[in-house]
């Protein structure tokens, strides 16, 4: 254990025993307090490195100029069919402790509706995103309740455009070059979990 490993090599050694890392790597999957203070993924990684952490570069990266309908899904944007219309509303019910937020997607395959309780820690104002980990524990009515909803769902999961793919590849090249310069591991990202 004489030589100091790069962060990438340290992480690889830890994941592929019997390799011997120079120390136990410390890499956080979720570090939202620091991430919220950073302009982009690269500043976020540099700040982690300043703290002595073993940061990883996540692919795909999200474009900063795209408003996402999913906080946890990185990279290629989710596109809705152009025929989809969206309505959102807020309801106050005496029998409910929290206001209810609703969102309906009118699609050629039917209307899909989601309802969430707007708890004190709800981070989206009166907006209900398409995908987000905050949805599941607060949802008295999930967007997809049964097989009959799949006809509408297909209009909310459109393939990426050629421009989306071009931007993804450009971002991946930039992220890989950054990782190489800093000796960092590149990961495939993690993305949505609960609601999917």
The b/e string for 95-109 (b: 16+ C-beta within 10 A; e otherwise) is: eeeeebbebbbbbeb
Q: Are residues 19 and 41 in the same domain?
A: yes
Is residue 70, in this structure, part of any structural domain at all?
Answer: no
Is residue 193, in this structure, part of any structural domain at all?
Answer: no
Is residue 129, in this structure, part of any structural domain at all?
Answer: yes
Residue 66, pLDDT score: 47
Q: Are residues 97 and 44 in the same domain?
A: no
Is residue 71, in this structure, part of any structural domain at all?
Answer: no
**Residue, of 4 and 93, whose pLDDT is higher:** 93
Residue 187, pLDDT score: 83
The DSSP annotation for 84-146 comes to -EEEEEEE--TT-SS-EEEEEEEETTEEEEEEEE--TT-SSTT---SB-TTTGGG-SB-S--S
Is residue 22, in this structure, part of any structural domain at all?
Answer: yes
The pLDDT-based confidence of 133 (bands split at 50, 70, 90) is: confident
Domain enclosing residue 102, as ranges: 85-153
Q: Are residues 106 and 131 in the same domain?
A: yes
Q: Are residues 93 and 142 in the same domain?
A: yes
Q: Are residues 131 and 105 in the same domain?
A: yes
Q: What does pLDDT average to over the chain?
A: 84
pTM confidence score: 0.73
Residue pair 60/71 in contact by the 8 Å Cβ criterion: no
Is residue 89, in this structure, part of any structural domain at all?
Answer: yes
Provide the β-strand partners of residue 111.
Answer: 106
Q: Are strands 185-187 and 56-58 parallel, antiparallel or unpaired?
A: parallel
| 153 burial level (CB within 10 Å; 0-12, 13-18, 19+) | middle
Residue 1, pLDDT score: 46
How far is Cα 155 from Cα 161, in angstroms, rounded to an integer? 15
3-class SS of residue 74 = coil
Is residue 79, in this structure, part of any structural domain at all?
Answer: no
Residue 72, pLDDT score: 53
Residue 190, pLDDT score: 56
Is residue 91, in this structure, part of any structural domain at all?
Answer: yes
Query: Per-residue pLDDT tens for 58-112?
Result: 876 655 444 556 655 566 677 899 999 999 999 999 998 999 999 999 999 999 9
Q: Are residues 11 and 59 in the same domain?
A: yes
Residue 138 has pLDDT above 80, yes or no: yes
Q: Are residues 107 and 56 in the same domain?
A: no
Number of domains in the chain: 2
């Amino acid at each position: 254990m004489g030589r100091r490993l790069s962060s990438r090599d340290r992480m690889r050694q830890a994941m592929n025993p019997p390799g011997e890392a120079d120390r136990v790597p410390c890499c956080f999957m979720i570090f939202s307090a620091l991430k919220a203070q950073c302009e982009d993924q690269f500043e976020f990684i540099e700040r982690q490195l300043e703290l002595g952490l073993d940061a990883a570069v996540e692919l795909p990266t999200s474009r900063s100029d795209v408003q996402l309908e999913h906080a946890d899904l990185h990279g290629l944007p989710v596109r809705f069919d152009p025929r989809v219309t969206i309505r959102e509303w807020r309801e106050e019910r005496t029998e409910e402790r929290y206001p209810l937020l609703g969102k309906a997607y009118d699609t050629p395959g039917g209307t899909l509706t989601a309802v969430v309780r707007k708890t004190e820690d709800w981070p989206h104002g009166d907006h209900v995103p398409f995908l987000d980990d905050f949805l599941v524990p607060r949802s008295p009515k999930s967007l997809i309740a049964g097989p009959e909803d799949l006809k509408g769902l297909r209009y909310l999961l459109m393939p990426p455009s050629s421009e989306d793919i071009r931007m993804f590849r450009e971002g991946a090249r930039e992220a890989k070059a950054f990782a190489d310069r800093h000796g960092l591991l590149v990961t495939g990202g993690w993305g949505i979990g609960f609601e999917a």
